[in-house]
Structure 1
Amino acid sequence: MEREKTIWIRISFIVSFVLLIIKFYSYYITNSTAILTDALESIVNVVAAGFATYSIYLSSKPRDENHPYGHGKIEFFSAGVEGTLIILAGLFIIYQSIYSFFFPSTLDNLFEGILLITISGTVNGVLGLILQRRGKSLNSITLEASGKHLMTDTLTSFLLILGVLVILVTGYQFLDSIIAVIFSFYILFSGYGLVRKSVAGLMDELDPTAIDSTVKTINQKRKPSWIDIHNMRVQQYGGDRHIDLHLTLPYYYDLKQVHDEVEELEHALEDAWPGIMEVFVHADPCIPDKCCHYCQIIDCHVRKIPIDTKIEWTSLNMSKNQKHYHDIIKQ
């Protein structure tokens, strides 16, 4: 898995470097500020791909004494760096556009420039789509961020082509700066999205997708002896996922039975995740007077109260730091 991530990000770096040369050549022959916006974003592509290569290498290293949770969080940092670079490029484009509006240059060879941007945009689009799909299947936020960035680059490239075509047809060269400013705001918005996602990951913000998939797996493997699951925490760092939860078991189970139940739950979660899964389960004894209402063990020999409820486990009630008898759901 890590090898495949490295291969794709290296391909992204090489392609981005080649397209960078093509786009700057296009700007050189046209003097178009709008085309310069595309070229500047390609610099971001190259720098981001280089940083992403290192982050994927680092995130693949096993956990050690200094990093007991592994190195997966570097991928959030990588996405943040890429987003910051995009924002800086957008701000520079606004400056350059305003300057060019008041001190315009003659535009030349627009048709040739359009052709070169079309080729580079198409290549970026294909690569970006592949990176996004592989990033999702490999649980890599770095690949996904790179793919999203390239797809954004593709969209801006084709919209840019449309704008330059308008300039070519109408001859209104002042539109060059206006088009560049419009694209710069879109680039700023895209960069903000990546930075926001990066900060959320670094701050361990709740990840609904990770929690929902964990709840789904537990419900699929649910056993009557698993009386209650609560105080569940799910964290994901790159392709690594860490889960902490409390599992309520019959109070009369001996140590071996408790160990077997805990191990079965851990294996169920680990087998459902393609990356590295680390599960910590704290076993709690049931409280007969309070848990009997929803305990699903039919032949329980110490039951004091008949079953009248089945708790539906959801991401909301499993995350609460309390047993479910505090919030019984009547069916």
Structure 2
Amino acid sequence: MKEHKQIILLSLITGLVLMVMKFAAYFLTNSNFVLTDAAESIVNVVASGFAFYSIYLASLPRDENHPYGHGKVEYFSVFLEGALIGIAGVIIILKSIYSIFNPEEIRDLIRGAAIIGFTGGVNGLLGYYMVRKGRTLPSITIEADGRHLLTDTVTSAGLVLGLLLIYFTKILWLDSALSILVGIYIAFTAYKLIRKSVAGLMDETDFTIVNDVVKLLGEKRRYEWIDIHNLRAQKYGNDLHIDCHLTLPNYFDLNKVHEEVKEVEWLINREAGIQTELFIHTDPCLPDCCHYCNMPNCPIRSEAKTEEIVWTMEKVMRNKKHYEQ
């Protein structure tokens, strides 16, 4: 978690510096359009601060009150960030609508555009770095913070173009009109972040991860693994928890059963790309399994194998043995 904290701390310090620069640009220009970027920079700082604290909590070891660890706090961080972005977007829209009917003088647009352009470039580089790191570590908090910065870069680029357009056309109402469009874009970005955080808090299935795990199990399948079903996955920050039922030959002793379970755990943790804790319930095979069982030299086989069942996400996630499907 040390690298996680360093990345978020870098984002926090950078956000503070850029926030000061953006508000300087606003006081210089008196432009609502510039204010949209300055207001969002406050969100950047607050969100990065909470993200830093959430990563600290997520790094704490599991305890009696939190037997699955503290990883889900990262989803709260993303929710807070989305909520703050949404509030900023709504405030920007309301202020811009007010300014259409009560216009104010704007000035020094070129210098303001230069300041905003510089801050947008810095956010773009930092955001790209954080999204990449958020995927490789992995950390939903760092990735969300990075995507927020990339969104800020897009709005800054649009803001610079808008300021130049206002400067050359002298159409002052464009300042408020463009601000409304940016506010709508910011609010939509907030919705996507909130949607992602709620999905995590509600244990919504991450079908990409489940599909990768099922594909891996299918490719590395052993003869002894007759059937896997009722597979469910939950994410707790950087950790993945999987429950499933594994059907094994009913003549295996407890040591052999334990060996096969550990083999499944080892395979997923080695090759799935995410730290995984598995809770595997083992089922003994039944005569109905024989027609798709690959076990060679089986001493209790009641019929020859006649069917090859390919493990797919749909089959493996059902709470049924394959012969019941």
Distance 1:205 1:133, change over 3 A: same
In 1, the alpha carbon distance for the partners of 2:216 and 2:61 equals 25
8 Å contact from structure 2 (residues 216, 272) kept in 1: no
Quote the Cα distance in structure 2 between the aligned partners of 1:79 and 1:229: 34
**C-alpha distance in 1 between matches for 2:256 and 2:190:** 52
Q: Deviations over 1:160-208 (max 9, x none)?
A: 1111111000001111000000000000000000000000000001111
Aligned to 2:61: 62
Normalising by structure 2, we get a TM-score of 0.98
Which residue of structure 2 lines up, in the alignment, with residue 127 of structure 1?
A: 126
Tell me what 2:309 maps to: 311
Match of 2:181 in 1: 182
1:210/1:236 contact within 8 Å kept: no
User: Please, what is the CA RMSD of the aligned residues?
Assistant: 0.9
The corresponding residue for 2:296 is 298
Q: Which of structure 1's runs of 4+ aligned residues deviate more than 6 A?
A: none
- 1:123-175 residue CA offsets vs partner (Å, 9 max, x unmatched): 00000000000000011000110010000000010011111111000001111
CA contact (8 A) 1:118 1:161 kept: yes
Deviation track 1:285-328 (CA, whole Å, cap 9, x = no partner) reads 0001x10010001211211111111111111110000100122x
Match of 2:230 in 1: 231
Does the residue aligned with 2:292 lie in a helix, a strand or coil?
Answer: coil
1:23-47 CA-partner distances (Å, limit 9, x unpaired): 0000000000001000000000000
Alignment of 1:144-293 (within 5 A): 144-273=143-272, 275-288=274-287, 290-293=288-291
Matched position secondary structure for 1:176: helix
- Mapped contact 1:128–1:147 kept (Cα < 8 A): yes
1:37 maps to 36
Structure 2 Cα separation of the partners of residues 15 and 219 of structure 1: 46
Q: Share of identical aligned residues, percent?
A: 51
- After superposition, give the CA deviation of every residue in 1:97-134 in whole Å (9 maximum; x if it has no partner): 01211111111100000000000000000000000000
Measure how far apart 1:220 and its partner are.
3.0
Do the aligned residues in 1 keep the contact of 2:213 with 2:272 (CA within 8 Å)? no
The question of whether the paired residues in 2 share the 8 Å contact of 1:231 and 1:321 is answered with yes
For the residue of structure 2 that corresponds to 1:4, the secondary structure is: helix
TM-score, normalised to structure 1, is 0.96
1:12 Cα shift? Answer: 0.3
In 2, are the aligned partners of 1:76 and 1:201 still within 8 Å (CA)?
yes
Offset of 1:214 from its aligned partner?
Answer: 1.3
| Alignment partners' CA distance in 2, 1:209 and 1:3 | 27
Corresponding residue pairs, total: 325
Q: Could you tell me how far apart the structure 2 residues matched to 1:198 and 1:262 are?
A: 32
> Structure 1: how far apart are the matches of 2:197 and 2:222?
37
Q: Which runs of 5+ in 1 are unaligned?
A: none
The whole-number CA distance in structure 1 between the counterparts of 2:72 and 2:115 is 37
Q: Which moved more, 1:188-197 or 1:275-284?
A: 275-284
CA distance in 2 between counterparts of 1:70 and 1:311 reads 36
Distance 1:303 1:315 in 2: 28
Residue 275 of structure 1: CA displacement?
A: 4.9
Contact 1:214 / 1:269 at 8 angstroms: preserved in 2?
A: yes
Report the Cα distance in structure 2 between the residues aligned to 1:219 and 1:17, rounded to whole angstroms: 49
Q: Which amino acid aligns with 1:168?
A: Y
